[in-house]
């Protein structure tokens, strides 16, 4: 299983990557939504994208909308990982194709629970 981690923070990309690898995932990274969309257009082998909301060049909201409209044939789970706590924003994201929302800061257990909610495999 492969995941694309999209965040402008290199530290968070590394942290999420370590957690996912411990759960049996292979990971790749992109530092903004534009680069993530380019990667997904070329490489259709991802099962999961974990994405921040606030990023330069293309934010997570725009990227999610474009992935769902331009790459709708992909069987791809999208999880937003953000500090944003606004319930209206979270509802908008879920309405636009986000499968789950994970609040920062989070634990290994929080991430594992969200993956399980999406019926994605995790190694204990």
Give the pLDDT score at 53.
Answer: 95
Q: What letter would DSSP give residue 117?
A: H
For the segment 2-13, the average pLDDT, to the nearest whole number, is 97
For the segment 85-110, the average pLDDT, to the nearest whole number, is 93
pLDDT band at 85 (very low <50, low <70, confident <90, very high): confident
* Prediction pTM value: 0.95
Q: Distance (Å, rounded) from C-alpha 16 to C-alpha 20? A: 6
pLDDT band at 123 (very low <50, low <70, confident <90, very high): confident
In the chain, the domains with their CATH numbers are 2-117 (3.40.50.2300)
- Taking a C-beta distance cutoff of 8 angstroms, is the pair 118, 90 a contact? no
Name 3's bridge partners.
27, 48
Percent of the chain residues topping a pLDDT of 90: 92
Mean pLDDT of the chain: 95
Q: Distance (Å, rounded) from C-alpha 106 to C-alpha 75? A: 26
For the segment 86-107, the average pLDDT, to the nearest whole number, is 93
* Tokens encoding 63: 């990227």
Kindly report which listed range (10-14, 30-34, 85-89, 111-115) carries the lowest average pLDDT score. Answer: 85-89
Q: Distance (Å, rounded) from C-alpha 105 to C-alpha 43? A: 29
- Taking a C-beta distance cutoff of 8 angstroms, is the pair 29, 52 a contact? no
Give Cβ neighbours of residue 92 (< 8 Å, ≥ 6 apart). Answer: 61
For the segment 89-109, the average pLDDT, to the nearest whole number, is 93
């Amino acid at each position: 299983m492969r995941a694309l981690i999209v965040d402008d923070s290199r530290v968070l990309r590394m942290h999420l990557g370590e957690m996912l690898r411990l759960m049996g995932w292979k990971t790749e990274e992109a530092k903004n939504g534009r680069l993530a969309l380019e990667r997904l257009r070329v490489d259709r082998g991802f099962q999961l994208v974990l994405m921040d909301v606030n990023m330069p060049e293309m934010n997570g909201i725009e990227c999610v909308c474009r992935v769902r409209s331009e790459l709708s044939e992909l069987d791809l789970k999208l999880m937003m990982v953000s500090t944003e706590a606004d319930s209206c924003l979270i509802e908008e994201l879920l309405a636009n194709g986000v499968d789950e929302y994970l609040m920062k800061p989070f634990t290994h257990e929080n991430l594992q629970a969200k993956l399980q909610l999406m019926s994605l495999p995790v190694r204990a």
